[in-house]
Structure 1
């Protein structure tokens, strides 16, 4: 196939899919006032183009503060555009007068393409980062020297010396002693546990007795209070009678003295 034939076929394919290209589909098109989808779509497309332009300017800007400000504005614009996508999807399903069924069926694809364009807008989060060189790991070979490996892992190389043997023996001795101490502590804790269980059982047994004793003490306290009240009443009565007798005797003495003087 010659180059001319290839160009002709590419041109034919491009013309076939021109209706799916938003920039060519709505170019020089008079927007119907009742077509809310097309109005919103055109507005969002203009905002996307302006945002892309701003992203390119941010990529060329050298002032870090200005770049940060522009990137923040780009992120806010992208978030606002994403919020409009669900509304655009709802409007894409509504029928409009003078709109062919083919155009109506193509509108959901336009919404998907617009959402992809929004996601493709660079936010500048990775701007200025140094690109790391990729290492082709397919050509990396790991070579192992068998002779060196045998020498490294030979039993003679790792034989115990007198110092290491003494260290290992001391370590084992300390470990055995620590195990014995732990066993003693474990036995002591077991004994304390048994004592605590016995004390708990004894307290459970004595609890009814303590309750009964408290009831008896309360009863005795009440009886003592009543007896004190009665004794107070008796003492008061005895004291009032004694005073009456003394008053009578004194009256008699006074009458006797008066009679003697009178005579």
Structure 2
């Protein structure tokens, strides 16, 4: 058997068993008419994204960021759980080119999705599991007390520890109320500061425009003063020249009169 024959047989065998490869089947049907493959691919990507966010939340030190990430993960999990019934309906739908074994494999994939989704860490405490089938017993009416439901006053007497605990609890309640009032006041101050900041941001362009106009007016005033000073100097020099001419004429007249 030649190498070409071996390669041909290997290729035919691979093509024969390609239909059992879920990943290749999903990739080949994402852009086709297989709605199950498209939806399952979207759910898979969302699960991977949620797992990455859970890992980020586990490494995050900021509690506020952790709470926000966990809330987003819980919303994603709820949305993915809503997609499971759709996948169940699409898994049993016959698709051209799929065998019964492939449809059964799809059903198994869908059945495993809820456990995978619920296994994503979201910061919420897991519900306690009942061990050994024990259940909390309800009230038993057949149990009777010797006192017939009547207790002495010593059962209700306050001890020193209980009084101290009550005082501390009242003090904590008062402190909590005071802190809530302070928090409300700080929120009000924060809102006022934000409003003032916005108002200042709106006033800054107006102040810049006023400064520009003042600078322009100052420059115009200086130029006007210079021109006015120059005009006054010219007027004064021409007036002196006229006075000099008049005096010269008077002197010449007096001299002519005396000469005659």
Q: If the length of structure 2 is used for normalisation, what is the TM-score?
A: 0.38
Q: If the length of structure 1 is used for normalisation, what is the TM-score?
A: 0.38
Q: Which has the higher contact order (CA 8 A, sep 6+)?
A: 1
* Structure with larger Rg: 1
